[in-house]
Chains A and B, each alone.
Chain A
C-alpha cells in the first residue's frame, strides 16, 4: 500500500493494530508481562476485547469463537500457556473454522517473571504452527499471516514473541488487509467432538497437515536469506536475528519467520553452502537441536548463553566461541512496595506474628524483601493456597498452625477458587487461613480489571464476583473483611484470631491499590457524566 502511514509502534501495539485491521471479532486473554498491552490497545482501537479469569478460559473462549467462524486472538505471557496447555493440545486436533491466533509472550531474562521457559517447545509438543516476528513491522505482518494461515489450514497458529519484540518500538508501515469473517454454526461432530474414535483420526489429520505446512514453508517468504558474505552463515529467528545482523555484518543470515514446522531442506541448503554455520537463538537450543537431529551440521551456542537475554555483545561472543565469564552488571535499585501501599500492613502483621507464609504472584510478592521478609514460598499463580494446604497436611502441629496463604485478588480469580475447593474438601486437621489481598485491581501488570473488580477490560460496569459470597457458598463460614487503612490493628487481629480458631478461615484485606484508587475515581466520574 503506497498510502499506508508510517508509525512508531511497540510490537504489542502492532499486533493489536493488525488484529483490528483484519477484523478480529474477539480478543481475550489474561494480563501478563510482556503481553498485556495487546488487548488493551485492541480495545482502544475499537476491537471487542475481554479479560478472562485465566489463560485456559481465554484460550477456550477464543477457540469457541474460532469454531463459530470468527477470527480470534488470545494473548498471554509464556507461563500462561502452562495453564492453557490443556485446550491447546486438543485444539490442534480439532482445528478451527474461522481463525485462532495464540499470542504467547516469552520473557527471556525474566524482567518480570518467575521462570524463563521457552515456549517454542509448546509448538512442537502440541503440533501447532508457530511464527516469530523480530520487530514491530513483522509483528504486524505476521499477525496477518497467522490469521490467514490459521484460516487457510483450519488450524490454530501460535505467534511467539518475546519481551524485546513486545516492548520495543520500531517503525511500521501497516498494509491494509482484506479479510472477511462470517460467524455461523456448522455441525461437524467428527471434527469437533474428541471422543477417541474421532481423535485417533484427528491426530493423523494433524500430522498430515503439518507435513503439508512444512512443505509450504520451504518456499514461504516468511523466511528470508540476507546474502552478505560467503565465510559465515547464521540461522536466527525473532529478536536474535536483529542482534545477529548487527553483530556479524559480514555474515549471511537465514532468518526463519515460521519456526514450526521448520523448512528443513531450505535450512540444509543454506547451512551446506558455508564452511561455518552458527545458530543464534535466545533461550533453549530449540532450532539447533532440531536442525542437528535432521543431520545438518551447525554450531550451537555454549550453555552459558542459554540463560538470560541475548544482545549484540553476547552474539559477538557466541560467534567468537568466547566462553570466558561475563561481567555481572551492577545491581540496580530493587523495586519496592509503593510508600502507602495497602499490602504493607498485612506483611507487617505476618512478620510480627511469625507466620509461615505461602505466597503468590503480584505486587505483594515484594513482601519477601526487607523490611518484611514475610514470605516463604512463591511458585506459580494460585499455589499459595494449595502449597500451604500440603504443608499443613504434613508439618508437625506446632508449625502447621502457623501456616497462612496470601493471595492477591486477581490471582484469586485466576486460580485461587480451585484451591478453596481443595481446602473445603480436604481440610487439614489444624484448619487453615487464607488471606486475600483485595486491592481492587491487577496492579502488578499495570492495573487491569478482573472479575472481582466489577468492571470490564475497558473499565465499564460489569457483574462482580464477590469473594466472601463465593467462599460462603463453598461452606467457609469464618470470614473477616478488614480495611488496612482504617484499621491496621484489625488486620493483625483477624489473622491471629483465625489462626487460633483452628478452622477454615478467610481474611479479606480490602483497600484499593494507591495507583488504582485514582483511576477508579475517574472511571466512576466518567460513568456519572455519561448518564
Chain B
C-alpha cells in the first residue's frame, strides 16, 4: 500500500440504498483525484437480506475489500447491522448510525443514505463540491435539489 488508505464499510438491508450510499463516497473520492476501489456483493443478498459494501481510497489501493479490523468507518443504514459488521472496525474506528442524524433535518426516510453520507463527509478531507457532484452523479435528477439541500444542512450541523 502506498500512503494512507481510508477504509469505509457501508452496511444495511437490501432495498435501503446501501449501494447508492457507497457509490456516493466512492465518486466523491474519485472526484477528489484519489485512487478508489469499491466492492459489493449482488444477488441473493438483495432480497431484503444484509448488504455490505466496501469503499477504499487514498494514493494507491490494491484489494477492493476492507480487511476485518481495519475499517476507519462503519456506516449502517439499519442499527441491527452494527453487530454483524463490527469485526471490520479498527480500534478507534467510528460507527455512524441513523441515530447520528438529526431527525428534523431528514426530510424523507428514503434520504437516509444521503444523510449518513453527509455525516461521514464531516469526518473526511474531501471538498464539499466533490460530494455534491457525487450525489448528482448517483441519484435521479428529480432528487438532486432536495438531497443536496439536506446533505448541506446535515454537513453544516454539529
Measured CA separation A33–B42 after assembly (Å): 7
Check if A169 sits within 8 Å of B37, measured CB to CB: yes
Q: How many residues of B contact A (CB 8 A)?
A: 37
Check if A245 sits within 8 Å of B62, measured CB to CB: yes
A residues near B50, Cβ cutoff 8 Å? 332-333
Check if B43 sits within 8 Å of A111, measured CB to CB: yes
Segment of A60-68, A334-342, A404-412, A432-440 engaged in the interface with chain B? A334-342
Task: Judge whether B71 is part of the interface by a CB distance below 8 angstroms.
Answer: no
B-side binding surface: helix, strand, loop or mixed? Answer: mixed
User: From residue 393 to 449 of chain A, which have CB atoms closer than 8 A to chain B?
Assistant: 444-446
Task: Judge whether A164 is part of the interface by a CB distance below 8 angstroms.
Answer: yes
Least CB separation from B1: chain A residue: A246
A residues near B37, Cβ cutoff 8 Å? 135, 168-170
Given A164-B39, A242-B63, A332 and B84 contact (CB-CB distance below 8 Å): yes
In the assembled complex, how far is the CB of residue A137 from the closest CB belonging to chain B, in whole angstroms?
11
Q: How many residues of A contact B (CB 8 A)?
A: 38
Least CB separation from A165: chain B residue: B64
B residues near A224, Cβ cutoff 8 Å? none
Check if B47 sits within 8 Å of A112, measured CB to CB: no
Check if B47 sits within 8 Å of A170, measured CB to CB: no
A residues near B47, Cβ cutoff 8 Å? 335-338, 363, 366
B residues near A471, Cβ cutoff 8 Å? none
A residues near B1, Cβ cutoff 8 Å? 246, 249
Task: Judge whether A320 is part of the interface by a CB distance below 8 angstroms.
Answer: no
Least CB separation from B2: chain A residue: A249
Check if A335 sits within 8 Å of B48, measured CB to CB: yes
Measured CA separation A445–B26 after assembly (Å): 24
A-side binding surface: helix, strand, loop or mixed? Answer: loop
Which residue of A327, A330, A337, A446 has the most chain B CB atoms within 10 A of its CB atom? Answer: A330
B residues near A334, Cβ cutoff 8 Å? 49
Task: Judge whether A124 is part of the interface by a CB distance below 8 angstroms.
Answer: no
1/0 per residue, CB under 8 A from A, across B26-42: the answer is 11001000011111111
Task: Judge whether A171 is part of the interface by a CB distance below 8 angstroms.
Answer: yes
B residues near A333, Cβ cutoff 8 Å? 13, 48-50, 80-81, 84
Given A8-B26, A169-B26, A243 and B62 contact (CB-CB distance below 8 Å): yes
Which residue of B48, B49, B64 has the most chain A CB atoms within 10 A of its CB atom? Answer: B64
Given A332-B49, A336-B49, A34 and B42 contact (CB-CB distance below 8 Å): yes
Task: Judge whether B129 is part of the interface by a CB distance below 8 angstroms.
Answer: no
Task: Judge whether A75 is part of the interface by a CB distance below 8 angstroms.
Answer: no
Check if B44 sits within 8 Å of A111, measured CB to CB: yes
In the assembled complex, how far is the CB of residue B119 from the closest CB belonging to chain A, in whole angstroms?
22
Task: Judge whether B45 is part of the interface by a CB distance below 8 angstroms.
Answer: yes
* Chain B interface residues toward A at CB < 8 A: 1, 13-14, 23, 26-27, 30, 35-50, 52, 61-65, 67-69, 80-81, 83-84, 87
- Closest 6 A-B residue pairs measured CB to CB? A112-B43, A332-B50, A335-B49, A335-B47, A168-B64, A246-B62
| 16 CB-based A-B contacts, threshold 8 Å | A8-B30, A33-B43, A34-B43, A169-B36, A170-B37, A239-B63, A242-B63, A245-B62, A312-B63, A313-B68, A333-B48, A333-B49, A333-B80, A333-B81, A336-B49, A445-B43
